[in-house]
Amino acid sequence: MTSFSFVRPRSDAFSAVLYWGGDGPVTPNTADIGAILISSRSLDEYRSMFDLSDDDLSRRILDCPAGAAGFTAVVNRLGGDVTACDTAYSDSDAEHLTVVAAAEAERGNRYIRDHAENYDWTFFADPDEHARVRRQAVRDFAEDIRRHPHRYVAGCLPSLPFPDAAFDLVLSSHLLFSYADRLDRTFHLAAIRELMRVAREELRIFPLVESGSSVRYPYLDELLGDLREDGIESEVVEVGYRFQKGAHYMLVCSRTISPGPEASGESSSI
């Protein structure tokens, strides 16, 4: 029987990893990177990864897992309404999270430099630009979590601390599919169901390949069939983001039957 356990290395509050307890080995692709990486991505990356329009950014958004991305900080600064959710927010104060986020940005950049042949240097010109963008995202995250800690909610998939249909749009990057050697199909299904539970309109997941690989998640068709039985329609959509080779598609999920007026906060009349 498949089992799950959380392993939290004492030295890294962001390394709370849900490891797969099944029979599948850790592949060399993701084994090279070590613990699941906490990334500090920018608003521009989110726009490109998720094909986000200005109208999209005006919706109520959940970013989960958000890690130390600058997305929540910058969109809210521009007048948006974004909530970040991550298991790491329960473990440490803002000062320690900032230190860890900076260290993780450097770890991620080292990995990219060591595996530069696996990346398409289109969105980023080179590893130096990647490092500059990620460091700025850490600074945006650090300032915002100090000033607006309520925007950063501790939570862990597949059980989130939000009511049904709490957000118009849910974004999820670089966990599902990215670590398919550690997170099995059962977890993926449960996590997507939970993300859809809190989404009133739509869920977007990026990318659809493992970290360090250009091969699409092998059980995607079966997973989409399971979701369809739940009344969740899914579409694979190409996006403009070019960085990890082969990682230029997102999964867009929506309900075949939208939540009723009670879930959206609207009143009904007969």
Confidence of residue 84 (pLDDT cuts 50, 70, 90): very high
Position 174 pLDDT exceeds 80: yes
Position 267 pLDDT exceeds 50: no
Length of the chain: 270
Residue 36, pLDDT score: 80
Quick one: average pLDDT of 84-113? 91
Percentage, residues of the chain above pLDDT 90: 75
Position 18 pLDDT exceeds 80: no
| Beta carbons of 141 and 175 less than 8 angstroms apart | no
Nearest residue to 188 (alpha-carbon basis) of 236, 163, 231, 225 = 225
Nearest residue to 217 (alpha-carbon basis) of 192, 195, 194, 193 = 192
Confidence of residue 193 (pLDDT cuts 50, 70, 90): very high
pTM equals 0.84
What is the tens place of the pLDDT at every residue in 227-252? Answer: 999 999 999 999 999 999 999 999 99
Mean of the per-residue pLDDT values of the chain: 85
Which is it for the CA torsion 124, 129, 131, 135, positive or negative? Answer: negative
